[in-house]
Structure 1
Amino acid sequence: MPSTLSLTDTVSRAQKHLATEVDGNFILMSIEGGVYCGLDEIGSDIWRRLARPLTVEALCQAMAANYRGDREQITADVLELLVSLRDQRLIHVG
């Protein structure tokens, strides 16, 4: 499995996961991997957007438009989270 993702990759939530929202933040558990993680407000926003498949580029564009930060930094941060979620089997990359 490659260590990075491409902006043209399509990402979505994995089918076998548990998720619960507590005070606006998600706690996730991979049924396949047996690991769990907690997401902050921005990570939870990304998780909500992953309810339907979309390209990494479209996700980064949406986050940059919503948070109005430095586009390169937002892209780097989104990619870092997506790689972590992929490695924990919480998202599907296709």
Structure 2
Amino acid sequence: MPAVHEPIRLQDRYAWSDEQIGSEVDGNVVLMNLAKGHYYGLDTIGSDIWRRLQHGPEVGVMVRELAETYHHDAAEVERDVLALMEKMREQNLIRRLS
């Protein structure tokens, strides 16, 4: 039975897990889950999110920075970031720090 997680919150900090490796290919990130042997490709914005997660940022700060960088509505960016992070967490690509 899969683990049940609490929702990712804006005050949480997440970073890369030890179960993944990532590489840049033509400016975008390709990830591999080492335990499962699955590959994942990220688009430009997904790759930007991934790079930011290297240092374990607070999710809300990252959302605000991305909204400013890409000139998008903060609520839309928040929804998209949280959705991507949930998928990453399900695949053990990221881990919660706090």
TM-score w.r.t. the length of structure 1 is: 0.92
Which one has a bigger Cα radius of gyration? 2
For 2:78, which of 75, 79, 82 is the aligned residue?
75
Matches within 5 A, 1:32-47: 32-47=35-50
Residue 20 of structure 1 is matched in structure 2 by 23
Give, in whole Å, the separation in 1 of the partners of 2:18 and 2:67.
27
Whether 1:64 aligns to 2:67 is yes
Shift of 1:82: 0.3
Give, in whole Å, the separation in 1 of the partners of 2:63 and 2:79.
9
- Structure 2 residues without counterparts, runs of 5 or longer: none
In percent, how many aligned pairs have the same letter? 37
Give, in whole Å, the separation in 2 of the partners of 1:61 and 1:34.
33
- AA paired with 1:82? M
Let me know the Cα RMSD of the aligned residues.
1.2
Give, in whole Å, the separation in 2 of the partners of 1:2 and 1:42.
25
- Structure 1 residues without counterparts, runs of 5 or longer: none
